[in-house]
Chain A
């Protein structure tokens, strides 16, 4: 079955005084992969479980292809759910776990054997059909959970931190696998995670959530390059945060003075609306900053500093540079010339004015 469209509208759920989900609306295209990204308590899992029917929302509608499912019991929604820690049935082997939803649907033995065989092939677990669940590794259990949620070809797959319990290299491998399987089945996916790298890698669109609200909804590129708030910018990707005071406009840009070093004149990306003199936050991504021994050309923001630390991260190198603006993190590819700089060196950090993102101060 091809993926279905999902429309969530005005969804709210409170526990006592705590607003777990606060008026969330989200429209998802058929076959789209949408991630709810946020910290614990941001409402992402509550939203997902409301779609699954395992949490009853106080308000709002959830429509799958124009059918409102809010009042349907979970077993009548026909959605695939992959739970955190998998929630496999320990009393059944791999085959019986995956066959469970088909047995609930009263499919014939023949049909069940074929369908389970097919899906075992997709997740590369054919030799494990007779294994007990406890005899499987975490990665294998994860794949059984995925197979069980997909075997009845649901129009929508809901995944709650499915890779949370696995180590890094296995996560990378399974990420690729999840993406491939999703394309193969054409299923609509709503995916919940607190891991921004996972979200950026997998999603067609990301909904960044905090305090029960969606803070920004957009493609991974949009979220990363044009975050709508300091919160989103800080949450997705690493960032250098500099407290600044806004000055006058200069063309499309804005003059800003750093609170810590008002003698430096810096330019930063467009900051519409805010008045001159207003306090603001300038965010610069670590990979947007260049390091050089000579002062760079005039149109770049340039601040002199000293390298304090050089951390080798594999493909890239992270420098910690102390500057009049405070400590700045700079990330450079391993192969560029600047990567050879050593701690103690005096360098110029510089970035294009448009890489300095301006946000109103939180206060």
Chain B
């Protein structure tokens, strides 16, 4: 009896925590349909006007395009580099590997504003400010740890004898890598790619430094939207970002479950 009661209390507390965590995120959804010209809560009326404006105003739709391009390129670059780094780290003696891994994970631990400030000067000198390559490079620095962590996690569980086994059965090192190592690492690489994409797609702090008139990402556009207009377009954009993130995380979850 007491067991059942304490378990229902636990369920109630857990549900309350979930609501607390999710509510602010979900609150933007009703706001995005308001008929007022600025963000209000509770929203008044119902209109799809802000979604229409989002998709027609060049500043908004252009920033979505930039974000998508930057996120895809970041995912590709970070996944490739991160996988290679994880494989390299796996070859190092355990203690050295741990220290070097920490070095690569740093951008995740250090406050983003520090990374942003550190990147600004060299990027400004080399003309990477306000350019897509600049954004991709900066986002890759932030996204790398996710790829390294995901790939290393699988690499640590991997029995390294499988590569030896493949060699003994007639596979050259390249074939053994393609037919055995890579397929085994694939779920970690895919998870890393999803995280890298989301990291870039949602990133605002570093982008504020690096982005410019010719290359503005969606979160940066939202930032100025809030500062100068308090426009409900920001809420509509938030909803769209949320949907993209949810879809990607669902894909990630399905990959992990396999």
User: How far does the Cβ of B183 sit from chain A's closest Cβ, in whole Å?
Assistant: 4
Q: Is B170 part of the binding interface, using a Cβ–Cβ cutoff of 8 Å?
A: yes
Residue of A whose beta carbon sits closest to that of B158: A90
Query: Could you give, for residues 139-172 of chain A, a 1 whenever the CB lies within 8 Å of some chain B CB and a 0 otherwise?
Result: 0000000001100100000000000000000000
- Closest chain B residue, CB of each to CB of A145: B165
Inter-subunit contact A90/B161 (CB<8 Å): no
What is the CB-to-nearest-CB distance from B161 to chain A, in angstroms, rounded to a whole number?
4
Report Cα–Cα, A52/B180, bound state, in Å. Answer: 19
B168 touches A74 (CB 8 A): yes
Closest CB in chain A relative to B151 CB, distance in Å: 15
Task: Let me know if B161 and A101 touch, CB within 8 A.
Answer: no
Distance, CA A144 to CA B183, complexed state (A): 20
B166 on the A face (CB < 8 A): yes
* Chain B CB within 8 A of A79 CB: yes
Contacts of B171 in A (CB 8 A): 75, 100, 104
> Quick one: which of A48-88 are within 8 Å of B by CB?
52-54, 73-75, 77-81, 83-85, 87-88
How far apart sit A352 and B205, CA to CA, in the bound complex (Å)?
A: 89
B53 adjacent to chain A (CB < 8 Å): no
* CB <8 Å contact, A89 and B170: no
- Residue on A with the closest CB to B176? A75
- Given A89-B180, A91-B180, CB of A52 within 8 Å of CB of B162: no
- Residue of B159, B161, B169 near A104 (CB, 8 A) is B169
Band of interface residues on A: 20 to 34
CA distance A88 to B161 in the complex (A): 9
- State A311–B208 Cα separation when bound (angstroms): 79
Counted as pairs of residues, one from A and one from B, with CB atoms less than 8 Å apart, the total is 67
Chain B interface residue count: which class? 10 to 19
- State which of B159, B169, B172 has its C-beta within 8 Å of the C-beta of A101: B169
Q: Given A54-B164, A83-B164, A84-B161, are A75 and B170 neighbors across the interface (CB < 8 Å)?
A: yes
Asked if B184 CB lies within 8 Å of chain A CBs, one says: yes
Q: Which B residues are in CB contact (< 8 Å) with A250?
A: none
Which of A73, A84, A148 makes the CB contact (< 8 A) with B169? A148
> In the complex where A75-B170, A75-B171 touch, is A87 in contact with B184 (Cβ < 8 A)?
no
Q: Are B167 and A73 in contact (CB under 8 A)?
A: yes
The answer on a CB contact under 8 Å between B159 and A87 is: yes
Q: Give every chain B residue within 8 A of A85 (Cβ-Cβ).
A: 159, 161
Q: List 29 A-B contacts (CB under 8 A).
A: A52-B164, A75-B169, A75-B171, A78-B170, A79-B168, A80-B168, A83-B165, A84-B161, A85-B159, A87-B159, A87-B161, A87-B165, A88-B165, A89-B165, A89-B166, A89-B180, A90-B162, A91-B183, A91-B186, A100-B166, A100-B169, A101-B169, A101-B170, A104-B170, A105-B170, A148-B165, A149-B169, A152-B169, A152-B170
**Ranked 4 nearest A-B pairs via Cβ:** A104-B170, A87-B161, A101-B169, A87-B165
Which A residues lie at the B interface, using CB under 8 A?
52-54, 73-75, 77-81, 83-85, 87-91, 100-101, 104-105, 148-149, 152
